Amino acid sequence: MQFQSVTFDLDGTLLDTIADLAEACRLMLDEVGARPRSLAEVHSFVGKGMAVLVERCLTHEQPPSDDQRHAAIESFKRHYAAVNGKFTRIYPGVIDGLQAWQASGLKMGVVTNKPGMFTGVLLERMGLADYFDVVVSGDTTAHKKPHPEPVLHACRLFGVRPDRNLHIGDSRHDIHAAHAAGCLAYAVPYGYNEGEPVDSADCDALVSDLLAAYRQALTFKDLPQK
């Protein structure tokens, strides 16, 4: 294995969280008196963090006011905390993939746009927390993906050069963040991509699941020697 560490996106890559997110959005919209959103709409809104998800739910002819946005975000936080992990499912291939990566001895981390108040709890509830050495949430650094800073921060915590880290995600935000950080980017075709499916031309490998990502990484031999 030529890599020294691997980072994973969370929502849409490791975990199918859309049912929890949709339920929290439904309860939030009802509480603030806004029009409901369909599951498909919520699915297309996921990708840039909680605040953007809430704002997209509220936006119809025009965006919400600052007061409306703030009230809705606080409402969403309460409702999502109550349902976080309740309906979430682990994607096929994730456990086998994580076990393979762990057995390789690589340092492993999560880099997500989900706020920290929800990330650690969700990983614990789903039995995934012990796989990871590092967790970078949406509020850990000043910027979220697609900015490279969250991926770079994970690399600093690992003590690994970015070009020795592989990032795996489900959207162009993951690909852009990884490439801007100097990492290779693998993408899975499922998950949440804001209606823009990832293309094999955009990433370094399009893989069916995390175990396939591990097998693909074993074939990569072009990293420079230390």
Catalytic residue set: 9
Residues facing 124 on adjacent strands: none
Cβ neighbours for 117, distance < 8 A, ≥ 6 positions apart: 77, 81
Residue 20: count other Cβ atoms within 10 Å of its Cβ: 23
Q: Which two tokens stand for residue 44?
A: 């297309």
- CA atoms of 167 and 200, how far apart (whole Å): 15
Amino acid at 211: L
Sheet arrangement for strand 5-8:
134-136, 107-111, 5-8, 165-169, 184-187, 205-206
Three-state SS for 11?
strand
Q: Which parts of 11-155 are beta strand (E)?
A: 15-16, 89-90, 107-111, 134-136
- CA atoms of 210 and 107, how far apart (whole Å): 15
In order of 64, 74, 178, the CA distances from 9 in angstroms are 29, 24, 11
